[in-house]
Chain A
Amino acid sequence: MGFLEIMRNPVIAALLASVACGVIGTYVVVKRIVFISGGISHASFGGIGLGYFLGVYPILGALVFSLVSALGMGVVTRRAKLPEDTAIGILWAIGMAVGILFVFLTPGYAPDLMSYLFGDILFVSALDIRMMLVLDAVIALTVFLLYKEFLSISFDEGFGEASGIPVERLYLVLLCLVAVTVVALIRVVGIVMVIALLTIPAATARQFTHSLRKMMALSVFLSCVFTLCGLGLSYLLDWPTGATIILVGGLMFLVSWGIVDLRRKKRKYVSV
């Protein structure tokens, strides 16, 4: 197989994943739901295990589990008299434990279990790509329809509630979109590192713009750059792709942060 053939599916997957994580990652960062998003992604491992156990496509199990855990965590953290981070920590671990138990109960060896945990973009299938396409469409359509609502509840839930916006329901919809994004990203960087793709591109983009729309567009673009660079680099060096992508992103974030910070200091110096 030639280089182009090997790289075709991974490149398409990287681009599709970037749309999901750029758009939803923006909300994750500005609404500060990073920790709950980490909880959702880890809890989805329960679904991977269930998929193995039932002998179905594990990603499908992950989708069900991540949606259920998103709704569960959303409702528990809002209504139960438990501190939010405690509730998330508990559900996070329960999801992982369920997954491990199902994998244990499944007779025989679980093939490519590691690829779900740490990603394996070089081996994405046509089925994976079709699924990512559908998930991207769901995300794009929902965000298009609920743009003004999501902006309102991200900025000020208290006012939103008082002005008659169904804040809790919208929050749950947003968490479901996070769940969907997590699933779209599992094949690329794996459950353990999904949170990095949800935060790094958006956090980098935020340094350069004060418009939510532009921040989304920029983080989609940055995410494309990170994943493609990581992909290329991992191919050249024969490193694990998921980890390489994250390290490329992390490095670029630190560099841009340093530059912005330096410029800010310089401006202060000049104004004095």
Chain B
Amino acid sequence: MSDELVRVKNVWVHYGDVPVLEDINLSVQQGDFLGIIGPNGGGKTTLLRVILGLIKPSRGKVSVMDTSPRKARRFVGYVPQYSLFHREFPASVWDVVLMGRCGYRGVFQRYTDQDRRLALQALETVEMSGFQDRQIGKLSGGELQRVFIARALVLEPKLLLLDEPTASVDTAMQTEFYQILDRLRQNMAIVLVSHDIGAVSVYVDKIACLNRRLFYHDSKEISPEELEAAYGCPVDLIAHGVPHRVLRRH
């Protein structure tokens, strides 16, 4: 197998007649930590859903791990945008993490010891081992986010997709969050999308800009002109980008 995990080639997606993604080209390699930024409604979630095989592009080709996105799902961990479950939902942290194995295990099957072992490991990885029996609605935004990452990790993915992961996490918790991702990237490629330029921190090593079109060239550098083109208005790089540099490794 090649080092290329995701290959998106000339992909267009339309909702009705409206194009949401225009001629997207993207390649994610093993070991990549790619941040995709762009305004709300710019097609970020759509792009992730294309990679997950939940949306069929109207034009173009997508392959994940040299096969179709659908077949590759078993190797892709997904952390959806903050999910709106009811706070009183009767499930524990443990129940939720095991759900990550549900699709893999298959209909009519019970969870096995292997599933439970992986769930335990995943909780350790995100430093939430002590929270197993806690009711899911009783967690803070940051804790919840870590549990959802654990739920994605139980598949032992080669690729981790995160949709607006910092939306519900306060700034202080973000450092911790990125440290977890930094550890994870030894074992998997990570793609993170966010509308908040500042949220994509120094840990990311490649940045792309998405607003229907994708501006991307394999590096962390992005010119103010490109940002402007993506956001459709001048973006104040200094105001957004620099304060978060405070959170550099320590």
Contacts and interface: CB of A to CB of B under 8 A. Distances in A.
Interface of A: 30, 32, 145-146, 148-149, 151-152, 154-156, 158-166, 206, 209-212, 214-215
A160 to B, nearest CB: 7
Interface in B112-128: none
Contacts of A148: 98-99, 102, 105, 110-111
A210 B92 contact: yes
B195 interface: no
Contact of B74 (A146, A164, A165, A215): A164
Nearest to B91: A155
A212 B86 CA distance: 14
Contacts of B2: none
A149 B98 CA distance: 11
B67 to A, nearest CB: 14
A79 B243 CA distance: 45
Contacts of A206: 88, 90
Contact of A159 (B49, B78, B108): B78
B34 to A, nearest CB: 18
A112 to B, nearest CB: 39
B80 A159 contact: yes
B78 A149 contact: no
A163 B104 contact: yes
Interface residues of B, number: 34
B103 A155 contact: no
Contacts of A30: 86, 89-90
A211 B99 CA distance: 15
A148 B91 CA distance: 11
A153 to B, nearest CB: 9
A70 B83 CA distance: 26
Given A156-B80, A163-B104, A211 B92 contact: yes
Interface of B: 49, 52, 54, 70, 73-74, 78, 80, 83, 85-86, 88-92, 95-96, 98-100, 102-105, 107-108, 110-111, 135-136, 148, 151, 155
Contacts of B85: 155-156
Contacts of B73: 162-164
Contacts of B89: 30, 154-155
A158 B161 CA distance: 14
Given A32-B86, A162-B80, A163-B73, A149 B107 contact: yes
Contacts of B54: 161-162
B95 A160 contact: no
A152 B99 contact: yes
Given A160-B102, A164-B103, A211 B90 contact: yes
Contacts of A166: 107
13 contacts: A148-B111, A155-B95, A159-B99, A159-B151, A160-B99, A162-B78, A163-B78, A166-B107, A209-B90, A211-B92, A212-B90, A214-B90, A215-B90
A98 to B, nearest CB: 34
Contact of B108 (A145, A161, A215): A145
Given A161-B54, A162-B73, A163-B104, A151 B91 contact: yes
A149 B80 contact: no
B138 to A, nearest CB: 8
A146 B80 contact: no
Query: Of A32, A160, A210, A214, which is in contact with the most chain B CB atoms at under 10 Å from its CB?
Result: A210
A158 B83 contact: yes
A209 B95 CA distance: 14
B103 A160 contact: yes
Contacts of A155: 85, 89, 91, 95-96, 99, 136
Given A163-B100, A163-B103, A151 B86 contact: no
A163 B99 CA distance: 9
A162 B107 contact: no
Contacts of A146: 107-108
A160 B102 CA distance: 8
Contacts of B136: 155
